[in-house]
Structures are given as C-alpha cells and as structure tokens.
C-alpha cells in the first residue's frame, strides 16, 4: 500500500497566516503610494495654476502695488500680493544706470485635500522700465 501524504490543518493555517501578513503589508504599501501620488498630483496642479497666474503679471495684471484674491476652479483659490521693492540705494547707483523698478509678487494657492487645507507659495521678481 502506498501511504498518502498531504498537508495537515496546522500547516494550512500557518501558510494562510503568512500569506495574510504579506498581503496586508503589500496592500498598505500600495495604499501609501496611491495617497502620495494623489498628493503629488494636487501640488502639480497647484503649480500649473500658479505658473498661469504668474505669467499674467505684467501683461493682464499691471505691475503696481496690488492685492487680489480669486479662484481658479472649484478646488483651487489664490491670494496674490504685488509690492514694489524698496529702493534703498546704498551703492549710489543712479536712476540712469538702473532704470527699472522691481516688484515682488507672492502668490499663495490654497485647496482642500480631504479634510485638511493645503497651500503652496510661489514668488517672483518682475521689472518695469521707469520711462
């Protein structure tokens, strides 16, 4: 007679537990990756909106001291501040050799990510001829 061999109930339970632990770990890693991907996509979208608004400064938005709020769409809102840079002239540079006025623009983009408020801040300097 041939003896039949198989898995005992204990071996099956141990194998199932090992599989469950490995599966739970992989699933947790995938969930974290998806969350990070979504977060990165939101920051990327905010940066694209900000680049679009910053491109308007000096064209459709005049270079002058100004503060304005608005929204890009249902999720993304902005606060823009434009201020002229103080004209301290410690080096004695004359207006003829430095014929531009500098403006500092600070744009804050806000959005909701679930229940938390997120924001990203972007800044730039722009120049306008004093002419």
Least-confidence region, from 1-5, 29-33, 110-114, 117-121: 1-5
The arithmetic mean of pLDDT across residues 100-110, rounded, is 93
Residue 54 contacts residue 85 (beta carbons within 8 Å)? no
Q: Which residue has the tokens 């120049």?
A: 127
Whether 117 is covered by a domain: the verdict is: yes
The predicted structure's pLDDT at residue 50: 97
The predicted structure's pLDDT at residue 97: 63
Confidence of residue 113 (pLDDT cuts 50, 70, 90): confident
Whether 24 is covered by a domain: the verdict is: yes
Whether 1 is covered by a domain: the verdict is: no
- Domain tally, the chain: 1
- The residues near 106 (Cβ < 8 Å, ≥ 6 apart) are 80, 81, 121, 122, 123
Residue scoring higher pLDDT (113 or 45): 45
Whether 119 is covered by a domain: the verdict is: yes
Q: What does the block give as tokens for 119?
A: 């924001």
pTM over 0.85: no
For residue 89, give its domain range.
9-129
Whether 48 is covered by a domain: the verdict is: yes
Whether 81 is covered by a domain: the verdict is: yes
Rounded mean pLDDT of the chain? 88
Q: pLDDT per residue over 47-97, tens digit each?
A: 999 999 999 999 999 999 999 999 999 999 999 999 998 765 555 555 556
Whether 3 is covered by a domain: the verdict is: no
| Residue 58 buriedness (CB in 10 A; 0-12 / 13-18 / 19+) | middle
The arithmetic mean of pLDDT across residues 21-44, rounded, is 92
**What are 117's strand-pairing partners?**
112
The predicted structure's pLDDT at residue 54: 96
**What strands lie across the sheet with 66-71, from one edge to the other?**
66-71, 77-84, 100-113, 116-129
Give the per-residue SS3 of 4-71: CCCCCHHHHHHHHHHHHHHHHHHHHHHHHHHHHHHHHHHHHHHHHHHHHHHHHECCCECCCCEEEEEE
CATH of the domain at 64: 2.20.25.110
Whether 88 is covered by a domain: the verdict is: yes
Backbone angles phi, psi at 110, to 5 degrees: -120, 150
Residue scoring higher pLDDT (4 or 19): 19
Per-residue pLDDT at 123 exceeds 80: yes
């Amino acid at each position: 007679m041939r003896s039949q061999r198989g898995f005992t109930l204990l071996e099956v339970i141990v194998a199932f537990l090992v599989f469950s632990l490995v599966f739970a770990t992989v699933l947790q890693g995938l969930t974290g990756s998806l969350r990070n991907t979504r977060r990165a996509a939101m920051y990327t979208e905010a940066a694209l909106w900000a680049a679009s608004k910053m491109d308007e400064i000096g064209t459709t938005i005049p270079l002058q001291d100004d503060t304005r709020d608005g929204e890009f769409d249902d999720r993304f809102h902005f606060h823009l501040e434009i201020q002229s840079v103080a004209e301290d002239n410690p080096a004695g540079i004359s207006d003829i050799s430095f014929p531009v006025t500098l403006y500092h623009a600070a744009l804050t983009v806000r959005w909701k990510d679930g229940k938390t408020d997120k924001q990203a801040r972007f800044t730039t300097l722009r120049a306008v001829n004093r002419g």
